Amino acid sequence: MTLSSLLRIAAAAQLAIALLNLFLVRLLDWKADLDRLPLLLREVFHVHCWFISITLGIFGVMTLRFADAMAASSNETCRWLTAGIGIFWAIRTVLQATYYSSGHWRGQPVRTAMHVALLATYGGLALVYALSAFGKGS
């Protein structure tokens, strides 16, 4: 599989995560918890969720549009952009592994599987973008 194809898959994955993120509160059944919060905090929480989706949407669309140039490292801007996205996902992977309390998934097979799947996805995204930024190009 070529780096260009991997980048297209990474773009599709990010667009899927962006979409899922919009339904996060419903998926995790947090509506009752959020309704008890002060209005301002609730609004900031929702705005943050939307902005994560916008960010991932931007990463996804830019990657789809410039997948070949990113894979070929044909231009310095592409290399820096892929490095930026790669660092973003590397930090997200570290946060997923170290920041969240293990109590959220320990002893719950479905949640453990989700945690591992997310960790692998985030790590995979970091790896693909790192290869594109710091590899020799195809």
Partner 1 sequence: MNTPGSSRVVLLRAVAVIQIAMVAVNLSLVHVLGLNDGLTRWPAAVRELFVVHLLCISMMVLTISVLTLRFVREIANQAHAICRWLAGAAALFWLLRGWLQLFYSVSTQWPINQLHRVFMVIDGCLALVYGLAAWGAGERT
Which helix (DSSP H) or strand (DSSP E) does residue 61 occupy? helix 39-72
Among 2, 22, 23, 75, binds partner 1 (CB under 8 A): 75
Q: How far apart are CA 78 and CA 89, in angstroms?
A: 17
Asked if residue 108 binds partner 1 (CB under 8 A), the reply is no
Among 12, 22, 34, 116, binds partner 1 (CB under 8 A): 34
Residue count of the chain, please give it: 138
Asked if residue 30 binds partner 1 (CB under 8 A), the reply is yes
Asked if residue 87 binds partner 1 (CB under 8 A), the reply is yes
Q: How far apart are CA 42 and CA 111, in angstroms?
A: 24
Q: How far apart are CA 106 and CA 109, in angstroms?
A: 8
> What minimum distance in Å lies between the beta carbon of 59 and partner 1?
9
Other Cβ atoms within 10 Å of 123 Cβ, number = 17
86, two tokens:
């790669």
Interacting residue ranges for partner 1, rule: CB under 8 A: 24, 28, 30, 33-34, 37-41, 43-52, 54-55, 58, 61-62, 65-66, 69, 75-78, 80-81, 84-85, 87-88, 91-92, 95, 99-101, 103-104
